[in-house]
Amino acid sequence: MTYYAELSPPPRTIMTPGPVEADPRVLRALSYPILGQFDPAFTELMNDTMGMLRALFRTSNQWAYPVDGTSRSGIEAVLTSLVSPGDRVLIPIYGRFGYLLQEIAERCGADVAVLEKAWGTVFDPEEVIAAIRASRPKLLAMVHGETSTGRLQPLADIGSACREYGVLFVVDAVATIGGVPVETDAWHIDAVIGGTQKCLSVPSGMAPVTYNERAERVLLARKKIERGLQGSVDSPLTGMHDGPAIRSNYLDLSQLQDYWSPARLNHHTEMTSMLYGLREGLRIALAEGLEARFGRHRLNEKALSAGLSAMGVTLYGDPACKLPVVTCVDIPDGIDGESVRSMLLRRFGIEIAGSFGPLKGKIWRIGTMGYSCSQKNVLHLLGAFEAVLTRHGMKLHTGAALQAALDVYENTEV
Amino acid sequence: MTYYAELSPPPRTIMTPGPVEADPRVLRALSYPILGQFDPAFTELMNDTMGMLRALFRTSNQWAYPVDGTSRSGIEAVLTSLVSPGDRVLIPIYGRFGYLLQEIAERCGADVAVLEKAWGTVFDPEEVIAAIRASRPKLLAMVHGETSTGRLQPLADIGSACREYGVLFVVDAVATIGGVPVETDAWHIDAVIGGTQKCLSVPSGMAPVTYNERAERVLLARKKIERGLQGSVDSPLTGMHDGPAIRSNYLDLSQLQDYWSPARLNHHTEMTSMLYGLREGLRIALAEGLEARFGRHRLNEKALSAGLSAMGVTLYGDPACKLPVVTCVDIPDGIDGESVRSMLLRRFGIEIAGSFGPLKGKIWRIGTMGYSCSQKNVLHLLGAFEAVLTRHGMKLHTGAALQAALDVYENTEV
């Protein structure tokens, strides 16, 4: 039989746009013994998680719970539950993850219209609002923080317009939740998807979502109860509805919300260990305080950007819409970006990312997210990056990066 | 702000049909630091996992990997990737999880025909084979071990007939994998879904699947590459195909297999911690030896059944097709099954299960799965169960259960 070695992951400093280092307290939570999914001690942890997710999403929505899958499972759950075949969906796209929304909406059978913006910029909200007026979609879906390009899309005005014109507003906040303000209620967002493995620093595996009564009405009109459960006499939930059936069972929010409700109608087997981890990650984020947490992300971004600029590399993209938690750097002509990434990993144990599609081979992406977003990591990265680029033949202002970053930290400290 | 207490799950002996207690070595693996999903140290762990899954499923299939979600995500991934709208699907049903297969296939748009068998029994393979001959479906899906009734369906002859008539044979082995033999290749199964949180004793969160070239041909004919990735120049994977698009992005096996292939085409962010846990659970199962593991499950079932019979309660269902890892007990007239379950949990820290649909309130279900399948747990359960039933007014042969179980263990010990 083949021999498989004992698990022993090498130590890493993870400065990608996700997954990032998990908080050690979250890792410890993952290792606690299992509880049964209907054990009262466990359902209490589920309820705690819902309460903390409401605070994280800044919403008074009843429904705020994780979908059991990675971030895109949450996106697909929201879209497949809200979008019926033939529905008109508008998707403004300014990077890779906008295309993912398009792809998922198309697989739902939607009649999808897109707006496209050059990668590296975002939309002027008025452009999106004009398109809403012109096409009157049922639903508009867009990305809040686009990690493929490192840009942040302002959403408040678009949300107001969606509400005014009766459009459901769905936001992919996978990259921003917990690191950048996401104002679900204030921005009139009807459904939001967050990520765990980025600014929350919980390992990939769950997709927190929240949605309001406007969204709930749409999915309840499509609700079906599982055949194997229909005989349950104590179910307060009845029968069939008229809307077109939701095409997924696993990602059907009308069933998931029954599972997360006091009825606890059996659906999947909740991911016990991941739920422990998510709950702990939320506890840590709320104990730090969301405003303080956003401030920490801004500070480390400032130090990182100052260091990179002082070193003599060029930041990619329009600075007016920079995503605070991802900093993109142009790969200089004549430099093999993958060779730099590989040497950083192999020699320094530091991981940074490349990008996708048209930006593949053109930029590096450096994340400052969650537990990875620390003074220690930023300084470690700057020193190593300078050395590796020098080793690749670049002429840099050696030594300047760390001094510039230290200036930021010293001048900002209270 | 609301105060959320530190995580502190109470100690439990989990004797349900899943989730069951996770092996402490698996829990430790969950707590190891994160690696990036494209870190060579991580992709090596992914490859290890594929190798061990092939051994677990007893297959030489190229594809054997986990879907990132709970067990039913794996079932839906297989069905939504293989079944196009209008396809004829035959589903023999003998309990709740057969209805789940029906529900998922219907949501895929299949033309579903079902065979139904009274709960508590299974099909004579000849009945299923006659239906295959009569209806010539494209695909037949059925459950191997039905936890809702505690029955085990023989599959070998059905698999041979499926191969003979050109029918794709899909098996839900969520409850059996790792506890009862599952012979993917020998039984001519084209796609199998296993569970982690049962006989593998890994927390819920991943769904291992395997499928052969016959299944792969079907899904490759439907393959699409994500728009956001089409510009990747180093992708060995080309364009669009003619079949009807797979309706899910998240559960699209044609994309997942590219992610698990050396191409590593970006899809979701792999669940690092869960993958650590699954890999460790597989290592433990293969180190024990599958035959020894099946033997341990049979031994503890024998001791449990002997104890329950000696106590004076009645086992539910046809003994000829009993599922070795779930033992069902009739709830006697006049006894409140939920009150018994609750007292077991509250006083003894032991969890057993009720059942679903027509069996709700009629039977208790006791699991002997994976790490929970131990002499210690069986003896602990028998003593506690006798005490709680006595407390509920039943007249039992007190003291007989533990003696009968000890007889089994002492007479079987080598």
- pLDDT confidence bin for B229, thresholds 50/70/90: low
Tokens 């992951």 belong to residue: A9
Q: A344: burial class by Cβ within 10 Å (0-12, 13-18, 19+)?
A: buried
Is B289-412 CATH 3.90.1150.10? yes
Chain A residues close to B32, C-beta within 8 Å? 7, 9, 27
pLDDT of residue B243: 82
Residues of B in contact with A71 (CB under 8 A): 268-269
Q: Which residues of B120-132 are buried (b: 16+ CB within 10 A; e: fewer)?
A: bbbbebeebbebb
Cα separation values, B169 from B141, B161, B192, Å: 6, 10, 9
SS (H, E, C) A157-224: HHHHHHHHHCCEEEEEECCCCCCCCCCCCCCCCCEEEECCCCCCCCCCCCEEEEECHHHHHHHHCCCC
Is residue B140 over pLDDT 90?
A: yes
Q: Is A30 in contact with B34 (Cβ distance < 8 A)?
A: no
- Written as tens digits, the pLDDT of chain A (414 aa) is 678 999 999 999 999 999 999 999 999 999 999 999 999 999 999 999 999 999 999 999 999 999 999 999 999 999 999 999 999 999 999 999 999 999 999 999 999 999 999 999 999 999 999 999 999 999 999 999 999 999 999 999 999 999 999 999 999 999 999 999 999 999 999 999 999 999 999 999 999 999 999 999 999 999 987 766 655 433 434 455 678 899 999 999 999 999 999 999 889 999 999 999 999 999 999 999 999 999 999 999 999 999 999 999 999 999 999 999 999 999 999 999 999 999 999 999 999 999 988 999 999 999 999 999 999 999 999 999 999 999 999 999 999 999 999 999 999 864
Distance CA A204, CA A71 (A): 8
Residue B195 predicted with pLDDT over 70 = yes
Helix (H) or strand (E) holding A278: helix A272-288
> Cα–Cα distance between B101 and B97 in angstroms, integer?
6
Minimum CA–CA partner of A225 in chain B = B103
Chain B positions in Cβ-Cβ contact with residue A233 (cut-off 8 Å):
360-361
Of A211, A205, A199, the C-alpha closest to A282 is A199
Largest CA-CA distance found in chain A, in angstroms, rounded: 75
* Cβ pair B71:A273 closer than 8 A: no
Asked if A100 is an interface residue toward chain B (Cβ–Cβ < 8 A), one would say yes
Per-residue buried b or exposed e for A222-257, using 16+ beta carbons within 10 Å of the residue's own CB: bbbbbbbbbebeeeeeeeeeeeebbbbbbbbbbbbb
**Least confident interval from A343-347, B220-224, B238-242:** B238-242
A18: which chain B residues are within 8 Å (Cβ-Cβ)?
A: 269
Of A1, A39, A228, the CB nearest to B356: A228
Chain B contact present for A1, CB below 8 A: yes
pLDDT at B237: 44
Please report, to the nearest 10 degrees, the dihedral formed by the alpha carbons of residues A380, A385, A386, A387 taken in order: 90
Q: What is the mean pLDDT of residues B15-43?
A: 97
The structure tokens listed for A267 are 């659906």
**B286 vs A contacts (CB less than 8 Å):** 1, 4
Q: Where are the domains of chain B?
A: 24-285, 289-412
Cα distances (angstroms) measured from residue A100 to each of A75, A205, A211: 9, 18, 20
Rounded Cα–Cα distance for residues A161 and A125 (Å): 9
* pTM for this prediction: 0.96
Average pLDDT over residues B91-101: 97
Cross-chain residue pair A276–B7, CB shorter than 8 Å: yes
Residue A260 C-alpha from the chain's centroid: 22
Taking the C-alpha atoms of residue B293 and residue B299, their distance in angstroms, rounded to an integer, is 10
Which of the residues A7, A250, A279, A346 would you substitute to probe the B interface, choosing the one with the greatest number of B C-beta atoms within 10 Å? A250
**Length in residues, chain B:** 414
pLDDT-derived band of residue B236, with 50, 70 and 90 as boundaries?
very low
Residue type, A41: A
DSSP assignment of A316-359 equals -S-GGGB-TTEEEEEPPTT--HHHHHHHHHHHH-EE-B---GGG
> Tokens 């939740």 correspond to what residue?
A177
Token pair, residue A129, equals 């609002």
Q: Which residue in A7, A286, A357 is closest to B228 by CB distance?
A: A357
ipTM: 0.95
Mean pLDDT (chain B, rounded): 95
Name which of B21, B248, B266 is nearest A248 (Cβ-Cβ).
Answer: B248
**Residue A356 contacts B where some CB pair is shorter than 8 Å:** yes
Q: How far is CA B35 from CA A205, A375, B41, in A?
A: 14, 20, 8
Residue (of A123, A192, A129) closest to A165 by Cα position:
A129
Which residues from chain A sit within 8 angstroms of residue B97, using beta carbons? 228
**DSSP 3-state of B408:** helix
Average pLDDT (B48-77) is 98
Give CATH superfamily name and number for A290-412. Answer: Aspartate Aminotransferase, domain 1 (3.90.1150.10)
Residues of A in contact with B231 (CB under 8 A): 356-358, 360
Q: Which CATH number fits domain A23-285: 1.10.630.10, 3.40.190.10, 3.40.640.10, 3.40.50.2000?
A: 3.40.640.10
How far apart are alpha carbons A273 and A252 in whole angstroms?
22
Question: Is pLDDT above 90 for B238?
Answer: no
What is the distance between the alpha carbons of residues B233 and A363, in angstroms, rounded to a whole number?
15
* CB atoms B248 and A76 under 8 Å: yes
pLDDT of residue A241: 66
E strand or H helix that includes residue B116: strand B111-116
With CA atoms as reference, the chain A residue closest to B267 would be: A72
Which residues are CB-neighbours of A34 under 8 A, at least 6 positions away?
A272, A273, B9, B12, B14, B19, B20, B21, B22, B203
Binding annotation of A for substrate: 365
For B112, the 3-state DSSP assignment is strand
Residues B14-29 have a mean pLDDT of 97
Determine the Cα angle at A120 with ends A373 and A378, to 5°: 20
Q: How many CB pairs under 8 A join A and B?
A: 310
B52 vs A contacts (CB less than 8 Å): 4
Distance from CA of A411 to the nearest CA of B (A): 32
Any B CB within 8 A of A103 CB: yes
What per-residue confidence (pLDDT) applies to B89? 98
Indicate the Cα dihedral angle B154, B158, B159, B162, nearest 10°.
-160
**What pLDDT is attached to residue B1?**
65
- Quote the Cα angle for A280-B269-B273, to 5°: 45
Q: What residues are paired with A191 via a beta bridge? A: A170, A211
Q: Chain A within 8 Å of B259 (Cβ-Cβ)?
A: no
CB of B272 less than 8 A from some CB of A: yes
Pairing of strands A88-93, A139-143: parallel
Pick the CATH number of B24-285 from 3.40.640.10, 3.30.1950.10, 1.10.3720.10, 3.20.20.150: 3.40.640.10
According to the model, what pLDDT value does residue B412 have?
87
> Which one, of B121, B117, B162, B120, lies nearest residue B139 by Cα?
B162
Among residues B159, B187, B207, the alpha carbon closest in space to that of B18 is found at: B207
Å between A131 CA and nearest CA of chain B: 22
Q: Is the pLDDT of residue B350 over 50?
A: yes
- Give binding residues of B for substrate as ranges: 365
Residue A297 sits at the vertex; the CA angle it makes with A293 and A298, to the nearest 5 degrees, is 115
Q: Note which residues in 336-355 of chain A have CB less than 8 A from chain B.
A: 345, 351
Query: Residue B99 and residue A228: Cβ atoms within 8 Å?
Result: yes
